[in-house]
Structure 1
Protein backbone atom coordinates (compact mmCIF):
# COMPACT_ATOMS: atom_id res chain seq x y z
CA UNK A 1 0.00 0.00 0.00
CA UNK A 2 1.42 3.40 -0.96
CA UNK A 3 1.47 6.29 1.49
CA UNK A 4 1.29 9.96 0.60
CA UNK A 5 4.44 11.91 1.46
CA UNK A 6 3.76 14.23 4.43
CA UNK A 7 4.87 17.27 2.43
CA UNK A 8 2.18 16.72 -0.20
CA UNK A 9 -1.29 18.24 0.09
CA UNK A 10 -4.28 15.94 -0.07
CA UNK A 11 -7.54 16.72 -1.85
CA UNK A 12 -9.25 18.10 1.26
CA UNK A 13 -6.35 20.45 1.97
CA UNK A 14 -6.23 21.64 -1.62
CA UNK A 15 -9.97 22.41 -1.61
CA UNK A 16 -9.63 24.32 1.66
CA UNK A 17 -6.74 26.35 0.26
CA UNK A 18 -8.84 27.10 -2.80
CA UNK A 19 -11.58 28.48 -0.55
CA UNK A 20 -9.00 30.55 1.29
CA UNK A 21 -7.85 32.33 -1.87
CA UNK A 22 -11.33 32.66 -3.35
CA UNK A 23 -12.36 34.44 -0.14
CA UNK A 24 -9.08 36.30 0.40
CA UNK A 25 -10.76 39.60 1.23
CA UNK A 26 -13.10 38.13 3.82
CA UNK A 27 -10.61 38.02 6.67
CA UNK A 28 -10.09 41.76 6.84
CA UNK A 29 -12.51 43.10 4.27
CA UNK A 30 -15.24 43.69 6.84
CA UNK A 31 -14.02 44.37 10.33
CA UNK A 32 -16.35 42.60 12.74
CA UNK A 33 -15.67 45.19 15.40
CA UNK A 34 -17.82 47.66 13.45
CA UNK A 35 -20.89 45.44 13.57
CA UNK A 36 -20.82 43.97 17.05
CA UNK A 37 -24.06 43.38 18.87
CA UNK A 38 -22.91 42.15 22.26
CA UNK A 39 -19.40 42.15 23.64
CA UNK A 40 -18.61 41.17 27.22
CA UNK A 41 -16.33 43.39 29.28
CA UNK A 42 -14.27 43.06 32.43
CA UNK A 43 -12.89 39.57 31.80
CA UNK A 44 -9.44 40.25 30.35
CA UNK A 45 -7.65 39.96 33.71
CA UNK A 46 -8.85 36.34 33.90
CA UNK A 47 -6.71 35.35 30.93
CA UNK A 48 -3.85 37.86 30.87
CA UNK A 49 -1.38 35.46 32.49
CA UNK A 50 -0.51 32.08 30.91
CA UNK A 51 -2.24 28.97 32.21
CA UNK A 52 0.01 26.71 34.27
CA UNK A 53 -2.10 23.68 35.22
CA UNK A 54 -5.12 21.87 33.84
CA UNK A 55 -7.36 22.69 36.80
CA UNK A 56 -6.38 26.36 36.71
CA UNK A 57 -7.01 26.41 32.95
CA UNK A 58 -10.51 25.03 33.39
CA UNK A 59 -11.36 27.34 36.26
CA UNK A 60 -10.35 30.48 34.38
CA UNK A 61 -11.92 29.46 31.07
CA UNK A 62 -15.20 28.61 32.81
CA UNK A 63 -15.24 32.06 34.38
CA UNK A 64 -14.73 33.70 30.98
CA UNK A 65 -17.40 31.46 29.44
CA UNK A 66 -19.83 32.55 32.15
CA UNK A 67 -19.09 36.24 31.59
CA UNK A 68 -19.54 35.82 27.84
CA UNK A 69 -22.79 33.92 28.19
CA UNK A 70 -24.27 36.42 30.68
CA UNK A 71 -23.49 39.24 28.25
CA UNK A 72 -24.88 37.29 25.25
CA UNK A 73 -21.39 37.46 23.77
CA UNK A 74 -21.48 34.62 21.25
CA UNK A 75 -17.83 33.77 21.81
CA UNK A 76 -19.26 31.77 24.70
CA UNK A 77 -20.42 29.05 22.29
CA UNK A 78 -16.95 27.75 21.54
CA UNK A 79 -15.94 28.06 25.21
CA UNK A 80 -18.95 26.00 26.29
CA UNK A 81 -17.80 23.20 24.00
CA UNK A 82 -14.08 23.64 24.70
CA UNK A 83 -14.31 23.56 28.49
CA UNK A 84 -16.33 20.33 28.32
CA UNK A 85 -13.83 18.77 25.94
CA UNK A 86 -10.94 19.75 28.22
CA UNK A 87 -12.80 18.42 31.25
CA UNK A 88 -13.40 15.07 29.56
CA UNK A 89 -9.73 14.71 28.58
CA UNK A 90 -8.67 15.73 32.12
CA UNK A 91 -10.96 13.03 33.51
CA UNK A 92 -9.35 10.53 31.15
CA UNK A 93 -5.92 11.52 32.48
CA UNK A 94 -7.03 10.96 36.07
CA UNK A 95 -8.59 7.59 35.28
CA UNK A 96 -5.54 6.11 33.55
CA UNK A 97 -6.88 6.31 30.01
CA UNK A 98 -3.55 7.53 28.60
CA UNK A 99 -0.06 6.03 28.38
CA UNK A 100 1.67 9.26 29.43
CA UNK A 101 -0.63 11.33 31.67
CA UNK A 102 2.01 13.97 32.42
CA UNK A 103 2.47 14.63 28.70
CA UNK A 104 -1.30 14.87 28.14
CA UNK A 105 -1.53 17.44 30.95
CA UNK A 106 1.18 19.54 29.25
CA UNK A 107 -0.73 19.08 26.00
CA UNK A 108 -3.96 20.46 27.49
CA UNK A 109 -2.29 23.48 29.07
CA UNK A 110 -0.19 24.39 26.02
CA UNK A 111 -3.23 23.96 23.75
CA UNK A 112 -5.36 26.25 25.92
CA UNK A 113 -2.62 28.87 25.96
CA UNK A 114 -2.74 29.05 22.17
CA UNK A 115 -6.44 29.96 22.38
CA UNK A 116 -5.82 32.33 25.30
CA UNK A 117 -3.15 34.20 23.35
CA UNK A 118 -5.39 34.66 20.30
CA UNK A 119 -8.29 35.84 22.48
CA UNK A 120 -6.19 38.36 24.43
CA UNK A 121 -4.58 39.80 21.31
CA UNK A 122 -7.97 40.15 19.65
CA UNK A 123 -9.42 41.93 22.66
CA UNK A 124 -6.46 44.30 22.75
CA UNK A 125 -7.08 45.04 19.07
CA UNK A 126 -3.70 43.61 18.04
CA UNK A 127 -5.49 42.35 15.00
CA UNK A 128 -2.54 41.49 12.80
CA UNK A 129 -1.12 39.26 15.55
CA UNK A 130 -4.28 37.14 15.68
CA UNK A 131 -4.25 34.08 13.36
CA UNK A 132 -6.63 34.53 10.43
CA UNK A 133 -9.01 31.67 11.36
CA UNK A 134 -9.39 33.14 14.85
CA UNK A 135 -10.06 36.62 13.43
CA UNK A 136 -12.83 35.11 11.32
CA UNK A 137 -14.23 33.19 14.29
CA UNK A 138 -14.23 36.14 16.69
CA UNK A 139 -15.48 38.66 14.11
CA UNK A 140 -18.31 36.35 13.06
CA UNK A 141 -19.45 35.54 16.59
CA UNK A 142 -19.44 39.20 17.58
CA UNK A 143 -21.18 40.15 14.35
CA UNK A 144 -24.26 38.24 15.49
CA UNK A 145 -25.25 36.85 12.09
CA UNK A 146 -23.88 33.33 12.48
CA UNK A 147 -25.77 30.28 13.66
CA UNK A 148 -24.76 28.63 16.92
CA UNK A 149 -23.36 25.67 14.99
CA UNK A 150 -21.16 27.99 12.96
CA UNK A 151 -19.88 29.69 16.13
CA UNK A 152 -18.93 26.30 17.55
CA UNK A 153 -17.30 25.01 14.38
CA UNK A 154 -15.34 28.18 13.66
CA UNK A 155 -13.70 27.84 17.07
CA UNK A 156 -13.09 24.11 16.67
CA UNK A 157 -11.52 24.69 13.26
CA UNK A 158 -9.22 27.50 14.42
CA UNK A 159 -8.13 25.61 17.51
CA UNK A 160 -7.48 22.25 15.88
CA UNK A 161 -6.55 23.08 12.29
CA UNK A 162 -4.37 26.04 13.29
CA UNK A 163 -3.37 25.96 16.98
CA UNK A 164 -2.71 22.26 17.39
CA UNK A 165 0.31 22.11 15.06
CA UNK A 166 2.16 24.63 17.21
CA UNK A 167 0.99 23.07 20.45
CA UNK A 168 2.44 19.70 19.48
CA UNK A 169 5.67 21.33 18.35
CA UNK A 170 6.05 22.86 21.85
CA UNK A 171 5.46 19.76 23.98
CA UNK A 172 8.08 17.30 22.69
CA UNK A 173 6.82 14.61 20.35
CA UNK A 174 10.31 13.23 19.71
CA UNK A 175 10.80 10.88 22.66
CA UNK A 176 8.43 7.90 22.87
CA UNK A 177 6.68 9.17 19.75
CA UNK A 178 4.64 6.02 19.15
CA UNK A 179 3.17 6.17 22.65
CA UNK A 180 2.44 9.88 22.33
CA UNK A 181 0.73 9.35 18.99
CA UNK A 182 -1.51 6.72 20.64
CA UNK A 183 -2.44 9.23 23.33
CA UNK A 184 -3.03 11.93 20.70
CA UNK A 185 -5.40 9.56 18.89
CA UNK A 186 -7.15 8.51 22.10
CA UNK A 187 -8.16 12.11 22.62
CA UNK A 188 -10.06 11.74 19.32
CA UNK A 189 -12.35 9.16 20.94
CA UNK A 190 -13.36 11.61 23.66
CA UNK A 191 -13.81 14.56 21.31
CA UNK A 192 -15.92 12.63 18.82
CA UNK A 193 -18.39 11.67 21.55
CA UNK A 194 -18.67 15.30 22.60
CA UNK A 195 -19.13 16.56 19.03
CA UNK A 196 -22.08 14.18 18.78
CA UNK A 197 -23.47 15.84 21.91
CA UNK A 198 -23.05 19.29 20.30
CA UNK A 199 -24.92 18.18 17.18
CA UNK A 200 -27.73 16.62 19.22
CA UNK A 201 -28.05 19.79 21.29
CA UNK A 202 -28.31 21.94 18.18
CA UNK A 203 -30.95 19.69 16.63
CA UNK A 204 -32.96 20.08 19.84
CA UNK A 205 -32.66 23.88 19.69
CA UNK A 206 -33.60 24.09 16.01
CA UNK A 207 -36.51 21.75 16.62
CA UNK A 208 -37.73 19.07 14.23
CA UNK A 209 -40.77 21.24 13.43
CA UNK A 210 -38.41 23.78 11.90
CA UNK A 211 -35.40 21.77 10.78
CA UNK A 212 -35.74 18.05 10.10
CA UNK A 213 -31.99 17.58 10.55
CA UNK A 214 -28.77 19.52 10.08
CA UNK A 215 -28.68 18.71 6.37
CA UNK A 216 -32.00 20.51 5.88
CA UNK A 217 -30.48 23.70 7.22
CA UNK A 218 -27.00 23.42 5.77
CA UNK A 219 -27.69 21.69 2.46
CA UNK A 220 -24.43 19.96 1.58
CA UNK A 221 -22.93 20.73 5.00
CA UNK A 222 -21.81 17.12 5.52
CA UNK A 223 -19.43 17.61 2.62
CA UNK A 224 -17.93 20.57 4.48
CA UNK A 225 -17.25 18.51 7.58
CA UNK A 226 -14.10 17.17 5.90
CA UNK A 227 -12.60 20.62 6.14
CA UNK A 228 -12.56 20.73 9.93
CA UNK A 229 -13.28 17.09 10.88
CA UNK A 230 -11.67 16.16 14.14
CA UNK A 231 -9.72 13.13 13.00
CA UNK A 232 -8.56 14.78 9.79
CA UNK A 233 -7.68 18.04 11.51
CA UNK A 234 -5.77 16.30 14.28
CA UNK A 235 -3.93 14.07 11.79
CA UNK A 236 -3.03 17.20 9.83
CA UNK A 237 -1.67 18.88 12.98
CA UNK A 238 0.41 15.85 14.00
CA UNK A 239 1.92 15.58 10.54
CA UNK A 240 2.84 19.27 10.49
CA UNK A 241 4.34 19.09 13.98
CA UNK A 242 6.51 16.14 12.94
CA UNK A 243 7.83 18.15 9.99
CA UNK A 244 8.61 21.13 12.22
CA UNK A 245 10.21 18.95 14.90
CA UNK A 246 12.30 16.65 12.75
CA UNK A 247 13.68 19.16 10.26
CA UNK A 248 15.28 22.48 11.07
CA UNK A 249 14.95 23.88 7.58
CA UNK A 250 13.70 27.49 7.48
CA UNK A 251 12.11 26.96 4.06
CA UNK A 252 10.21 23.91 5.33
CA UNK A 253 9.00 25.86 8.38
CA UNK A 254 7.67 28.60 6.12
CA UNK A 255 5.93 26.01 3.98
CA UNK A 256 4.26 24.41 7.02
CA UNK A 257 3.19 27.83 8.32
CA UNK A 258 1.66 28.64 4.92
CA UNK A 259 -0.12 25.28 4.77
CA UNK A 260 -1.54 25.56 8.30
CA UNK A 261 -2.68 29.15 7.74
CA UNK A 262 -4.16 28.46 4.31
CA UNK A 263 -6.04 25.26 5.20
CA UNK A 264 -7.46 26.64 8.46
CA UNK A 265 -8.56 29.92 6.85
CA UNK A 266 -10.10 28.13 3.88
CA UNK A 267 -11.98 25.81 6.23
CA UNK A 268 -13.33 28.80 8.16
CA UNK A 269 -14.66 30.30 4.93
CA UNK A 270 -16.44 27.02 4.14
CA UNK A 271 -18.06 26.98 7.59
CA UNK A 272 -19.21 30.57 7.11
CA UNK A 273 -20.91 29.81 3.80
CA UNK A 274 -23.36 26.91 4.24
CA UNK A 275 -26.12 26.55 1.71
CA UNK A 276 -29.50 27.42 3.22
CA UNK A 277 -32.31 25.43 1.61
CA UNK A 278 -34.33 28.11 -0.22
CA UNK A 279 -37.56 26.16 0.31
CA UNK A 280 -37.10 26.60 4.06
CA UNK A 281 -35.84 30.16 4.01
CA UNK A 282 -39.21 31.58 5.11
CA UNK A 283 -39.48 29.03 7.92
CA UNK A 284 -35.93 29.44 9.21
CA UNK A 285 -34.91 33.10 9.06
CA UNK A 286 -31.17 33.21 9.61
CA UNK A 287 -31.56 36.14 12.00
CA UNK A 288 -33.89 34.13 14.23
CA UNK A 289 -31.62 31.10 14.20
CA UNK A 290 -28.57 33.22 14.93
CA UNK A 291 -30.10 34.70 18.07
CA UNK A 292 -31.05 31.36 19.60
CA UNK A 293 -30.47 31.51 23.36
CA UNK A 294 -26.91 30.85 24.46
CA UNK A 295 -28.32 29.57 27.72
CA UNK A 296 -30.53 27.16 25.79
CA UNK A 297 -27.55 25.81 23.88
CA UNK A 298 -25.46 25.43 27.03
CA UNK A 299 -28.27 23.58 28.82
CA UNK A 300 -29.02 21.28 25.88
CA UNK A 301 -25.33 20.46 25.47
CA UNK A 302 -24.86 19.72 29.17
CA UNK A 303 -27.80 17.32 29.09
CA UNK A 304 -26.21 15.33 26.26
CA UNK A 305 -22.63 15.04 27.47
CA UNK A 306 -21.68 11.35 27.44
CA UNK A 307 -21.93 9.75 30.86
CA UNK A 308 -19.23 7.65 32.46
CA UNK A 309 -15.49 7.68 32.85
CA UNK A 310 -13.65 8.01 29.52
CA UNK A 311 -11.49 5.09 30.64
CA UNK A 312 -14.53 2.83 30.19
CA UNK A 313 -14.93 3.84 26.54
CA UNK A 314 -13.62 1.54 23.84
CA UNK A 315 -10.03 2.28 22.99
CA UNK A 316 -8.67 2.32 19.46
CA UNK A 317 -5.13 1.41 18.47
Structure 2
Protein backbone atom coordinates (compact mmCIF):
# COMPACT_ATOMS: atom_id res chain seq x y z
CA UNK A 1 0.00 0.00 0.00
CA UNK A 2 1.40 3.38 -0.94
CA UNK A 3 2.13 5.79 1.87
CA UNK A 4 0.12 8.50 0.19
CA UNK A 5 -3.08 6.82 1.29
CA UNK A 6 -2.68 8.12 4.79
CA UNK A 7 -1.95 11.75 4.01
CA UNK A 8 -4.75 14.25 4.39
CA UNK A 9 -5.77 16.70 1.71
CA UNK A 10 -3.49 19.71 1.51
CA UNK A 11 -6.27 21.99 2.69
CA UNK A 12 -6.52 20.13 5.99
CA UNK A 13 -2.88 20.85 6.77
CA UNK A 14 -3.36 24.58 6.13
CA UNK A 15 -6.55 24.51 8.18
CA UNK A 16 -4.81 22.73 11.06
CA UNK A 17 -2.06 25.32 11.18
CA UNK A 18 -4.56 28.14 11.75
CA UNK A 19 -7.32 26.15 13.48
CA UNK A 20 -7.03 28.00 16.80
CA UNK A 21 -7.46 31.35 15.03
CA UNK A 22 -10.54 30.22 13.10
CA UNK A 23 -12.08 28.69 16.21
CA UNK A 24 -11.37 31.85 18.21
CA UNK A 25 -13.06 33.97 15.52
CA UNK A 26 -16.04 31.58 15.46
CA UNK A 27 -16.28 31.84 19.25
CA UNK A 28 -16.33 35.63 19.02
CA UNK A 29 -18.99 35.53 16.32
CA UNK A 30 -21.11 33.14 18.37
CA UNK A 31 -20.94 35.32 21.46
CA UNK A 32 -21.91 38.46 19.53
CA UNK A 33 -24.71 36.83 17.54
CA UNK A 34 -26.05 34.95 20.56
CA UNK A 35 -26.50 38.20 22.45
CA UNK A 36 -27.86 40.11 19.46
CA UNK A 37 -30.22 37.40 18.11
CA UNK A 38 -31.39 35.24 21.01
CA UNK A 39 -34.69 34.49 19.28
CA UNK A 40 -33.00 33.03 16.22
CA UNK A 41 -30.81 30.76 18.33
CA UNK A 42 -33.83 29.69 20.34
CA UNK A 43 -35.61 28.69 17.12
CA UNK A 44 -32.61 26.63 16.02
CA UNK A 45 -32.50 24.89 19.39
CA UNK A 46 -36.13 23.84 18.97
CA UNK A 47 -35.42 21.97 15.72
CA UNK A 48 -34.84 18.51 17.18
CA UNK A 49 -36.12 14.96 16.94
CA UNK A 50 -35.51 12.33 19.65
CA UNK A 51 -33.09 14.69 21.45
CA UNK A 52 -31.06 15.14 18.24
CA UNK A 53 -30.77 18.75 17.07
CA UNK A 54 -31.24 18.66 13.31
CA UNK A 55 -29.03 21.64 12.29
CA UNK A 56 -26.18 20.36 14.42
CA UNK A 57 -26.64 16.80 13.12
CA UNK A 58 -26.16 18.06 9.56
CA UNK A 59 -23.08 20.04 10.59
CA UNK A 60 -21.55 17.10 12.45
CA UNK A 61 -22.04 14.87 9.41
CA UNK A 62 -20.32 17.52 7.30
CA UNK A 63 -17.36 17.28 9.69
CA UNK A 64 -17.20 13.52 10.18
CA UNK A 65 -18.00 12.11 6.73
CA UNK A 66 -14.83 13.41 4.97
CA UNK A 67 -12.74 11.84 7.72
CA UNK A 68 -14.42 8.47 7.38
CA UNK A 69 -13.81 8.41 3.64
CA UNK A 70 -10.10 8.43 4.48
CA UNK A 71 -10.28 5.25 6.59
CA UNK A 72 -8.93 2.26 4.67
CA UNK A 73 -9.96 -1.01 6.29
CA UNK A 74 -7.67 -2.89 3.93
CA UNK A 75 -4.87 -1.63 6.14
CA UNK A 76 -6.17 -3.82 8.97
CA UNK A 77 -4.44 -6.80 7.34
CA UNK A 78 -1.14 -5.39 8.64
CA UNK A 79 -2.07 -5.60 12.33
CA UNK A 80 -0.33 -8.90 12.96
CA UNK A 81 2.87 -7.95 11.14
CA UNK A 82 4.05 -5.27 13.62
CA UNK A 83 1.80 -5.35 16.68
CA UNK A 84 3.62 -3.20 19.27
CA UNK A 85 2.42 0.16 18.00
CA UNK A 86 -1.18 -1.07 17.75
CA UNK A 87 -1.11 -2.56 21.25
CA UNK A 88 0.23 0.66 22.77
CA UNK A 89 -2.32 2.76 20.86
CA UNK A 90 -5.22 0.63 22.11
CA UNK A 91 -4.00 0.54 25.73
CA UNK A 92 -3.50 4.32 25.91
CA UNK A 93 -6.72 5.23 24.11
CA UNK A 94 -9.13 2.80 25.75
CA UNK A 95 -7.64 1.60 29.05
CA UNK A 96 -5.90 4.78 30.25
CA UNK A 97 -7.07 8.01 28.62
CA UNK A 98 -10.82 7.95 29.42
CA UNK A 99 -10.18 7.18 33.08
CA UNK A 100 -7.43 9.76 33.64
CA UNK A 101 -9.64 12.40 32.01
CA UNK A 102 -12.54 11.50 34.28
CA UNK A 103 -10.27 11.58 37.34
CA UNK A 104 -8.89 15.01 36.43
CA UNK A 105 -12.40 16.29 35.79
CA UNK A 106 -13.57 15.15 39.22
CA UNK A 107 -10.48 16.63 40.89
CA UNK A 108 -10.84 20.08 39.35
CA UNK A 109 -14.59 20.55 38.96
CA UNK A 110 -15.68 18.87 42.18
CA UNK A 111 -12.84 20.08 44.40
CA UNK A 112 -10.27 22.60 43.11
CA UNK A 113 -12.77 24.87 41.33
CA UNK A 114 -15.75 24.07 43.59
CA UNK A 115 -15.81 27.55 45.19
CA UNK A 116 -16.37 29.19 41.79
CA UNK A 117 -18.60 26.64 40.00
CA UNK A 118 -22.08 25.53 40.99
CA UNK A 119 -22.56 21.77 41.49
CA UNK A 120 -24.82 21.62 38.42
CA UNK A 121 -22.24 23.28 36.19
CA UNK A 122 -19.47 21.15 37.65
CA UNK A 123 -21.36 18.01 36.62
CA UNK A 124 -21.96 19.41 33.14
CA UNK A 125 -18.31 20.33 32.55
CA UNK A 126 -17.26 16.95 33.92
CA UNK A 127 -19.56 15.20 31.44
CA UNK A 128 -18.04 17.21 28.60
CA UNK A 129 -14.44 16.34 29.41
CA UNK A 130 -15.40 12.67 29.87
CA UNK A 131 -16.82 12.68 26.33
CA UNK A 132 -13.57 14.19 25.04
CA UNK A 133 -11.45 11.65 26.90
CA UNK A 134 -13.40 8.72 25.46
CA UNK A 135 -13.09 9.90 21.84
CA UNK A 136 -9.57 9.38 20.43
CA UNK A 137 -8.50 11.22 17.31
CA UNK A 138 -9.66 10.04 13.89
CA UNK A 139 -8.61 12.55 11.23
CA UNK A 140 -6.38 15.31 12.57
CA UNK A 141 -3.80 12.72 13.59
CA UNK A 142 -2.90 12.41 9.90
CA UNK A 143 -1.80 16.04 10.07
CA UNK A 144 0.28 15.49 13.21
CA UNK A 145 1.77 12.29 11.78
CA UNK A 146 2.75 14.12 8.61
CA UNK A 147 4.39 16.94 10.59
CA UNK A 148 6.56 14.41 12.46
CA UNK A 149 7.30 12.43 9.26
CA UNK A 150 5.53 9.45 10.78
CA UNK A 151 4.94 6.16 9.02
CA UNK A 152 1.83 7.09 7.03
CA UNK A 153 0.65 3.55 6.37
CA UNK A 154 1.03 2.49 9.99
CA UNK A 155 -0.79 5.63 11.13
CA UNK A 156 -3.64 4.62 8.86
CA UNK A 157 -3.70 1.18 10.48
CA UNK A 158 -3.78 2.73 13.95
CA UNK A 159 -6.66 5.05 13.05
CA UNK A 160 -8.62 2.28 11.32
CA UNK A 161 -8.33 0.00 14.36
CA UNK A 162 -9.37 2.88 16.62
CA UNK A 163 -12.46 3.52 14.54
CA UNK A 164 -13.53 -0.12 14.75
CA UNK A 165 -13.03 -0.18 18.52
CA UNK A 166 -14.87 3.12 18.88
CA UNK A 167 -18.04 1.67 17.39
CA UNK A 168 -18.23 -0.88 20.22
CA UNK A 169 -16.38 0.76 23.12
CA UNK A 170 -17.34 4.44 23.11
CA UNK A 171 -20.88 4.11 24.45
CA UNK A 172 -20.08 1.60 27.26
CA UNK A 173 -17.05 3.58 28.47
CA UNK A 174 -18.95 6.88 28.44
CA UNK A 175 -21.89 5.30 30.25
CA UNK A 176 -19.58 3.72 32.85
CA UNK A 177 -17.71 6.95 33.59
CA UNK A 178 -20.81 9.13 33.64
CA UNK A 179 -22.46 6.62 35.96
CA UNK A 180 -19.44 6.55 38.26
CA UNK A 181 -19.68 10.34 38.58
CA UNK A 182 -23.43 10.20 39.34
CA UNK A 183 -24.46 11.73 36.02
CA UNK A 184 -27.68 10.23 34.69
CA UNK A 185 -27.05 8.41 31.41
CA UNK A 186 -29.88 8.35 28.84
CA UNK A 187 -28.81 5.11 27.18
CA UNK A 188 -31.18 5.42 24.22
CA UNK A 189 -29.80 8.84 23.31
CA UNK A 190 -26.20 7.70 23.79
CA UNK A 191 -26.62 4.68 21.52
CA UNK A 192 -28.48 6.79 18.95
CA UNK A 193 -25.57 9.26 18.97
CA UNK A 194 -23.04 6.50 18.32
CA UNK A 195 -25.20 5.18 15.51
CA UNK A 196 -25.62 8.61 13.92
CA UNK A 197 -22.14 10.00 14.38
CA UNK A 198 -19.84 6.93 14.28
CA UNK A 199 -21.41 3.88 12.70
CA UNK A 200 -23.43 5.45 9.87
CA UNK A 201 -20.67 7.89 8.77
CA UNK A 202 -18.18 5.02 8.93
CA UNK A 203 -20.36 2.86 6.67
CA UNK A 204 -21.03 5.78 4.32
CA UNK A 205 -17.32 6.58 4.16
CA UNK A 206 -16.45 2.95 3.46
CA UNK A 207 -19.00 2.68 0.64
CA UNK A 208 -17.83 5.97 -0.86
CA UNK A 209 -14.19 4.91 -0.67
CA UNK A 210 -14.93 1.56 -2.33
CA UNK A 211 -16.73 3.30 -5.19
CA UNK A 212 -13.92 5.83 -5.65
CA UNK A 213 -11.19 3.18 -5.57
CA UNK A 214 -13.01 1.15 -8.22
CA UNK A 215 -13.36 4.27 -10.37
CA UNK A 216 -9.87 5.74 -10.06
CA UNK A 217 -7.82 4.21 -7.26
CA UNK A 218 -6.38 6.00 -4.24
CA UNK A 219 -5.81 9.15 -6.30
CA UNK A 220 -9.58 9.43 -6.80
CA UNK A 221 -10.08 9.16 -3.03
CA UNK A 222 -7.57 11.96 -2.41
CA UNK A 223 -9.22 14.20 -5.02
CA UNK A 224 -12.65 13.60 -3.49
CA UNK A 225 -11.41 14.40 0.02
CA UNK A 226 -9.80 17.59 -1.23
CA UNK A 227 -13.08 18.70 -2.77
CA UNK A 228 -15.23 18.01 0.29
CA UNK A 229 -12.76 19.14 2.94
CA UNK A 230 -14.14 22.71 2.99
CA UNK A 231 -17.47 21.21 4.14
CA UNK A 232 -15.72 19.74 7.17
CA UNK A 233 -14.07 23.07 8.01
CA UNK A 234 -17.33 24.98 7.57
CA UNK A 235 -19.23 22.42 9.66
CA UNK A 236 -16.82 22.78 12.57
CA UNK A 237 -16.83 26.58 12.53
CA UNK A 238 -20.60 26.94 12.21
CA UNK A 239 -21.06 24.42 15.03
CA UNK A 240 -18.76 26.50 17.24
CA UNK A 241 -20.75 29.63 16.39
CA UNK A 242 -23.98 27.87 17.38
CA UNK A 243 -22.60 26.47 20.63
CA UNK A 244 -21.16 29.77 21.79
CA UNK A 245 -24.29 31.57 20.63
CA UNK A 246 -26.33 29.43 23.01
CA UNK A 247 -23.75 29.87 25.76
CA UNK A 248 -23.24 33.60 25.15
CA UNK A 249 -24.96 34.90 28.26
CA UNK A 250 -23.18 32.47 30.59
CA UNK A 251 -19.75 33.14 29.13
CA UNK A 252 -20.08 36.92 29.15
CA UNK A 253 -21.11 36.72 32.80
CA UNK A 254 -18.37 34.19 33.71
CA UNK A 255 -15.38 34.49 31.36
CA UNK A 256 -13.15 32.50 33.71
CA UNK A 257 -15.21 29.39 32.96
CA UNK A 258 -13.25 28.83 29.75
CA UNK A 259 -9.92 28.97 31.59
CA UNK A 260 -11.13 26.59 34.29
CA UNK A 261 -12.32 24.03 31.74
CA UNK A 262 -8.99 24.31 29.91
CA UNK A 263 -6.88 23.40 32.97
CA UNK A 264 -7.70 19.66 33.23
CA UNK A 265 -7.69 19.39 29.43
CA UNK A 266 -4.15 20.77 29.26
CA UNK A 267 -2.87 18.49 32.03
CA UNK A 268 -4.51 15.48 30.37
CA UNK A 269 -3.07 16.28 26.93
CA UNK A 270 0.53 16.66 28.03
CA UNK A 271 0.30 13.78 30.50
CA UNK A 272 -1.09 11.29 27.97
CA UNK A 273 1.45 12.29 25.34
CA UNK A 274 4.45 11.81 27.58
CA UNK A 275 3.10 8.54 28.98
CA UNK A 276 2.66 7.08 25.49
CA UNK A 277 5.86 8.62 24.11
CA UNK A 278 8.15 7.29 26.82
CA UNK A 279 6.39 3.93 26.90
CA UNK A 280 7.06 3.63 23.16
CA UNK A 281 10.71 4.52 23.71
CA UNK A 282 11.05 1.93 26.50
CA UNK A 283 9.42 -0.70 24.27
CA UNK A 284 11.85 0.12 21.42
CA UNK A 285 9.13 1.25 19.01
CA UNK A 286 10.71 3.33 16.22
CA UNK A 287 10.06 7.05 16.09
CA UNK A 288 7.94 7.03 12.94
CA UNK A 289 5.38 4.84 14.78
CA UNK A 290 5.95 6.11 18.34
CA UNK A 291 5.26 9.78 17.56
CA UNK A 292 1.90 9.19 15.82
CA UNK A 293 0.96 6.70 18.54
CA UNK A 294 1.46 9.32 21.27
CA UNK A 295 -0.28 12.00 19.21
CA UNK A 296 -3.35 9.81 18.57
CA UNK A 297 -3.84 9.44 22.30
CA UNK A 298 -3.33 13.14 22.94
CA UNK A 299 -5.67 14.41 20.25
CA UNK A 300 -9.45 14.04 20.47
CA UNK A 301 -12.25 13.21 18.06
CA UNK A 302 -13.86 16.46 19.14
CA UNK A 303 -16.53 16.30 16.42
CA UNK A 304 -17.97 13.17 18.03
CA UNK A 305 -17.64 14.58 21.53
CA UNK A 306 -19.46 17.78 20.53
CA UNK A 307 -22.25 15.85 18.80
CA UNK A 308 -22.86 13.47 21.71
CA UNK A 309 -22.72 16.28 24.27
CA UNK A 310 -25.42 18.13 22.35
CA UNK A 311 -27.55 15.01 22.00
CA UNK A 312 -27.25 13.99 25.65
CA UNK A 313 -27.33 17.36 27.39
CA UNK A 314 -28.48 20.00 24.87
CA UNK A 315 -27.00 22.79 22.79
CA UNK A 316 -26.82 25.22 25.66
CA UNK A 317 -25.33 22.79 28.16
CA UNK A 318 -22.06 23.09 30.01
CA UNK A 319 -21.10 19.69 28.58
CA UNK A 320 -21.34 21.03 25.03
CA UNK A 321 -19.32 24.09 26.07
CA UNK A 322 -16.57 21.91 27.55
CA UNK A 323 -16.21 19.92 24.34
CA UNK A 324 -15.82 23.11 22.31
CA UNK A 325 -13.18 24.40 24.71
CA UNK A 326 -11.39 21.16 23.85
CA UNK A 327 -11.24 22.31 20.22
CA UNK A 328 -9.73 25.64 21.22
CA UNK A 329 -7.10 24.06 23.48
CA UNK A 330 -6.12 21.17 21.25
CA UNK A 331 -4.33 22.74 18.31
CA UNK A 332 -1.73 24.87 20.17
CA UNK A 333 -1.04 21.88 22.43
CA UNK A 334 -0.63 19.50 19.50
CA UNK A 335 1.70 21.84 17.62
CA UNK A 336 3.89 22.20 20.72
CA UNK A 337 4.07 18.40 21.05
CA UNK A 338 4.89 17.96 17.37
CA UNK A 339 7.80 20.37 17.87
CA UNK A 340 8.96 18.42 20.96
CA UNK A 341 8.75 15.10 19.13
CA UNK A 342 10.78 16.38 16.20
CA UNK A 343 13.49 17.71 18.52
CA UNK A 344 13.75 14.35 20.32
CA UNK A 345 13.69 12.07 17.28
CA UNK A 346 17.25 10.97 18.07
CA UNK A 347 16.04 9.37 21.32
CA UNK A 348 14.53 6.52 19.32
CA UNK A 349 16.17 3.65 17.48
CA UNK A 350 15.33 3.45 13.80
CA UNK A 351 14.15 0.41 11.92
CA UNK A 352 13.12 -1.68 14.93
CA UNK A 353 10.27 -4.14 14.43
CA UNK A 354 7.01 -3.04 16.00
Query: Normalized per residue, which structure has more helix?
Result: 2
TM bucket, shorter chain: 0.3 to 0.5
